[in-house]
Chains A and B, each alone.
Chain A
Amino acid sequence: MPAWTLFGLLKGKATTAWPGRDAAGSEEYSGQDGLLGMPRFAPQHCGDGCRMCADACPTDAISVKNDSKGAERLSVDYGRCVVCQLCIEACPKGVARASSDWAFGARNRNDLQFLVGPGGVAGGEKKPTEPRDGFRRSLHIRHVDAGSCNGCESELQALNNPFYNLHRFGVFFTPSPRFADLLLVTGSVTYAMREPLLRTYEAMAEPRWVMACGACAVCGGIAEGGYACGHGLEGVLPVDLYLPGCPPNPAAIIEAVLMFLDRTRQRVKGGRLVE
């Protein structure tokens, strides 16, 4: 045992400074160098009547709708995006491009919608809740897997590895819902997990908040619907914090939680990262 202690000390510090940045605003601190994020679109260059990206998308994240003047408008719901990059390969004109944008934590479902026409897109009417002052610093999270592929859990488990070291922010996972402030849900809310999920929520003291972590929890994800899979938290629980991605990486999870605590600002607005 003492050998392990010495080994640990000799290894030194492995923790990233994320979400701190250097003067150049480098994202290398995040450890997500090379990671492909949400696709970006420059729809002004779309061809007439082209729906190739929408047809390629496995989760119907992309749609082409007519606005009030009858003009076609591309709209992308990043809450549904599983980051598969198929739309980018399908686009013949380079309108859809790969990006490294993955910090898509948002308080409001509407913030994940890109180019919403005047008709609007369903969802997101809910007013964002603000955490109270007492919750700026420390936060206790109860996680519930409501039917994930285990990818999201793998990234949540990574939060406690020495690289991300979530504890340094005063954020902890707690086994008891009674001690929890935030219910962090992964997975699509299968028919059999719905009741256990609701029971966990009921057991939490108020004030309590809910985070949808990953495309599955936001909308049902890749396997949405069917006889067993469900549609995520839609219509199941009120959501205070959305983090799409499939899965969202640990740096994105950290940033979303700190944003929720008002310790960093929300970067995604109208489906775009604003600096």
Chain B
Amino acid sequence: MSDVKDIASPPVEMRTIDPAALPEAVGALIEGGGRMQMAYALRDGSGALELRYLASGRPREPFLAWRCRPKDPVPSVAAVSPLIGWYEREITDLFGVRFTNQPEPYPLVLHRGAHPLVPPLDPGYPGDTPMAFRETEGAMPETDHPDIQKLPFGPVRADVVESAQFIFLYVGEHILHLQPQLFFKHRGMEKRFEGKPLSHGVILAERVSGVGGVAHALAFCQAVEQAAGCAVPLRARMLRSLLAELERLYNHLHYFGHLADTTTLKVGQAEGKLLEERVKQIGARLTGSRFLRGLLTPGGLRRDLDPGAKMGAELDALRPAIADYLRRLDGTNSYLDRLISTGILSHKVALDQGATGPIERASGIDRDLRRDHPYGGYAELCVTVPVRAEGDAHARARVRMAEIDASLALIERVVRSLPDGPVREACVPRPNTEGLGWAESPRGSLYYAVHIGADGRPSRVKIKSPSYSNWRTFPFTVHDSNLMDYAINEASFGLTVAGCDR
């Protein structure tokens, strides 16, 4: 085990490109087996606009980034990399940069009725003024056939769920088209980081997606650490991985409770939710927070933890209960009947649309940032990555089942082999630096690009959340399916809205 992070090879290889050359370069990257991850805009120290495109190549190779000065308008790359389409629309909404040949040329993160005087991430935007807004319907495909019914559902939906609107076009039981209308919960989180002390940045990151707070804080801290060039002590890195796995555990157990509910297994639902509760309580005893908040900080952890004493015994008791529950669930015919062959996501669509996490792994894409680009304590741990080829709701559930096993094994390994030592190093990024942080959250790959301004505080933070990509992908499994399966299919994706909307 090495005590110092290997920072010899740069984690991101940066190239400058002419915007006109972008479509071709992206096409060549995808031909060569690479994959786009995100795109965003920022203003450099002189206030000039710059676009960034982030791509990943083969595992363990550095990420690839392109930077360019946008010449208005910029050619869209959505035709070669569909998933970048959303990023382009977001850049238009927030920075006012226009793209040519954009296949969906309408607002995305800002609702149609929002009329900011200047784009909200423009330095000229007047601070705390809310945007002028009048409710306006979003874009929908045109239909004129009398048999096609339109069902808008939300944004306030039944039960305790996050706000989002779903518009179904259907004939009888058959869904022709699903249009999710997201971003009702857009809080402008990325801009809230600007000019704040780094300690506040972590607290913010923990609350971008509440049930992914460890992953978000981790990606943020790692980006800052990269900008500062500081090394995190091994004990802190191992504990970070332990927290990240606890987060995965309670999220995945929640997922099964919810999935059991949609397949009307009431006892299965209750047991899943009870196991989730037990993990949250264990987390609270260990960290003081049911959501494992308030521990991470650039440079390590805010305080040391004693997982052996605080949770060892309880976790031992929980392990067989979880195994028993999952075995029982996956042996129930009525549950299997509803999942198998439901909501199939093909390998190709998963790849094109940027599906991530358990969703992509259930469609045959073998990727996991913990293994492919190790961070935290994962370089010292052996991460097993379950992959399945079927792409249906059952495959998505099976991947998560296997991930629960793997998480429990990882937690056990950390508890048993936790080295002594400090948990925090000084970490002060120099002015005008930048860093990229990433984490494999319970829902997939998460990236934070953090740009540090002249005052040593973030001047731009870009968050690529896993649900953003997975929400993009989800409707492809709904078109041409039936209404009866909808709730089960949605549950099998395990999406959150907050992370997507930010």
Answer whether A191 and B285 are a contact pair too, CB < 8 Å, given A150-B211, A151-B213, A151-B291: no
23 A-B residue pairings within 8 Å (CB atoms): A4-B332, A32-B281, A33-B281, A33-B285, A36-B294, A58-B204, A82-B203, A85-B288, A98-B288, A145-B156, A148-B185, A148-B210, A150-B497, A150-B498, A151-B207, A157-B254, A188-B187, A192-B133, A192-B185, A197-B156, A222-B204, A226-B192, A247-B210
Known: A3-B332, A84-B203, A158-B280. 18 other contacts (CB 8 A): A35-B290, A58-B203, A148-B498, A149-B210, A150-B499, A153-B162, A153-B210, A157-B254, A160-B273, A162-B273, A192-B183, A196-B155, A222-B192, A226-B128, A226-B130, A226-B192, A227-B188, A228-B131
Q: Is the CB of A150 within 8 A of B209?
A: yes
In chain B, what residue has the closest Cβ to A143? B160
* A271: Cβ under 8 A from any B Cβ: no
What separation, in Å, do the CA atoms of A3 and B325 have in the docked complex?
12
What 3 A-B pairs are tightest by C-beta distance, nearest first? A151-B210, A36-B288, A175-B158
Contact pick for A192, options B186, B203, B254, CB 8 Å:
B186
Tell me the complex Cα distance, A190–B192, Å: 14
Whole-angstrom distance between the alpha carbons of A97 and B321 in the complex? 37
Q: Is the CB of B268 within 8 A of A4?
A: yes
Residue A131 is within 8 A (CB to CB) of chain B in the complex = no
Cα A80 to Cα B278 with chains together (Å): 29
- Chain A nearest CB from B118 CB (Å) reads 10
Provide the B54-69 mask, 1 if CB < 8 A to any CB of A, else 0. Answer: 0000000000000000
Closest to A163 in B: B277
Contact A35 B284 (CB under 8 A): yes
Min CB distance, B55 to chain A, in Å? 29
**With A149-B210, A161-B273, A221-B207 as contacts: A191 and B268 at CB distance below 8 Å:** no
Instruction: Collect the chain B residues with CB atoms within 8 Å of residue A4's CB.
Output: 265-268, 328, 332
Q: Does A243 contact B (CB under 8 A)?
A: no
- Does A152 belong to the interface (CB within 8 Å)? yes
CB distance from A187 to the nearest CB of B (A): 7
Task: Contact check, A228 vs B186: say whether CB atoms are below 8 A apart.
Answer: yes
**Most interface-central of B120, B129, B184, B207 (chain A CB within 10 A):** B207
Chain B residues, CB < 8 A from A249: 290
Given that A4-B332, A86-B199, A157-B160 are known contacts, is A223 also in contact with B207, CB under 8 Å in the complex?
yes
Could you tell me the distance between the alpha carbons of A224 and B163 in the complex, rounded to whole angstroms?
18
Chain B residue with minimal CB distance to A220?
A: B187
- A85-B296 Cα distance, complex, nearest whole Å: 12
Q: Which residues of chain A have C-beta atoms less than 8 A from B277's C-beta?
A: 31, 158, 161, 163-164
Cross-chain contact B187 with A229 (CB below 8 angstroms): yes
**Stretch binding the partner chain, chosen from A7-15, A46-54, A62-70:** A7-15
- Inter-chain contact A144/B120, CB cutoff 8 Å: no
Q: Give the shortest distance, in Å, between B277 (CB) and chain A (any CB).
A: 5
Q: How far is the CA of A5 from the CA of B116 in the complex (A)?
A: 56
B381 at interface, CB cutoff 8 A: no
Q: Given the complex, which residues of A lie within 8 Å of B135, measured CB to CB?
A: 195
Q: Which residue of B lies closest to A227 (CB)?
A: B120
Q: How large is the interface on A (under 10, 10 to 19, 20 to 34, 35 or more residues)?
A: 35 or more
Q: Among residues 130 to 152 in chain A, which have CB atoms less than 8 Å away from a CB atom of chain B?
A: 143-152
**Contact between chains at B274 and A145 (CB < 8 Å):** no
Residues 185-218 of B, flagged 1 when their CB comes within 8 A of A and 0 if not, give 1111101100010011001100111110100000
Given contacts A33-B285, A193-B163, A230-B130, contact A149 B208 (CB under 8 A): yes
- Residues of A near B131 (CB, < 8 A) are 191, 227-228
Interface membership of A91, Cβ < 8 A: no
Fill in one digit per residue for B248-267: 1 if any A CB lies within 8 Å of its CB, else 0: 00000010010000000111
Could you say which residues of chain A place their CB within 8 Å of the CB of B129?
Answer: 227
Residues of A within 8 A of B (CB): 1, 3-5, 7-8, 11, 14, 31-36, 56, 58, 82-86, 89, 98, 143-158, 160-164, 173, 175, 187-188, 190-193, 195-197, 199-200, 221-223, 225-230, 246-247, 249
How far does the alpha carbon of A4 sit from the alpha carbon of B162 in the complex, in Å?
29
Q: Mark B411-436, 1 if CB is under 8 A from A, else 0.
A: 00000000000000000000000000
Chain A residues near B310 (CB-CB < 8 A): 34
The answer for the CA separation of A8 and B213 in the assembled complex, in Å, is 32
- Closest residue of chain A to B205 (Cβ to Cβ) is A222
User: Which chain A positions have C-beta within 8 A of B160?
Assistant: 143, 153, 156-157, 173
**B273 and A158 form a contact (CB under 8 A):** yes
Which residue of chain B has the shortest Cβ distance to A141 in the bound complex? B160
Partner of B203, one of A150, A187, A200, A222: A222
**Complexed CA–CA distance, A164 and B276 (Å):** 13
B302 sits at the interface (CB 8 A): yes
In the bound complex, residues from chain A placing their C-beta under 8 Å from that of B101 are none
Contacts of B188 in A (CB 8 A): 223, 226-229
Q: Is the CB of B162 within 8 A of A190?
A: no
Q: Does B159 sit at the interface, judged by CB under 8 A? A: yes
Q: Is the CB of B187 within 8 A of A190?
A: yes
Interface presence of B237 (CB below 8 A) = no
Given the complex of chains A and B, what is the CA–CA distance between A146 and B501 in angstroms? Answer: 12
Chain A residues whose C-beta falls within 8 Å of the C-beta of B254 in the assembled complex: 154, 157
Chain B residues with CB under 8 A of A196: 155-156, 163, 184
Question: Given that A31-B281, A148-B162, A162-B270 are known contacts, is A228 also in contact with B130, CB under 8 Å in the complex?
Answer: yes
Contact of A34 among B196, B285, B294 (CB under 8 A): B285
Are B274 and A163 in contact, with the CB atoms below 8 A?
yes
Residue of B nearest to A98 (CB): B288
Alpha-carbon distance A263/B286, docked complex (angstroms) = 33
Interface flag for B379 (CB, 8 Å) = no
Residue of B nearest to A58 (CB): B200
Whether a CB of chain A sits under 8 angstroms from the CB of B293 is yes
Contact A149 B273 (CB under 8 A): no
Kindly list chain A residues whose C-beta atoms are within 8 Å of the C-beta of B289.
35-36, 83
Query: A1 contacts which chain B residues (CB < 8 A)?
Result: 265, 332, 334
Which of B187, B288, B294 has a CB less than 8 Å from the CB of A147? B187
Evaluate whether A228 and B120 lie within 8 angstroms (CB atoms) in the complex, with A84-B293, A200-B156 already known. Answer: yes
Which chain B residue shows the least CB distance to A164?
B277
B98 on the A face (CB < 8 A): no
Bound state CA distance, A187 and B163, in angstroms? 10
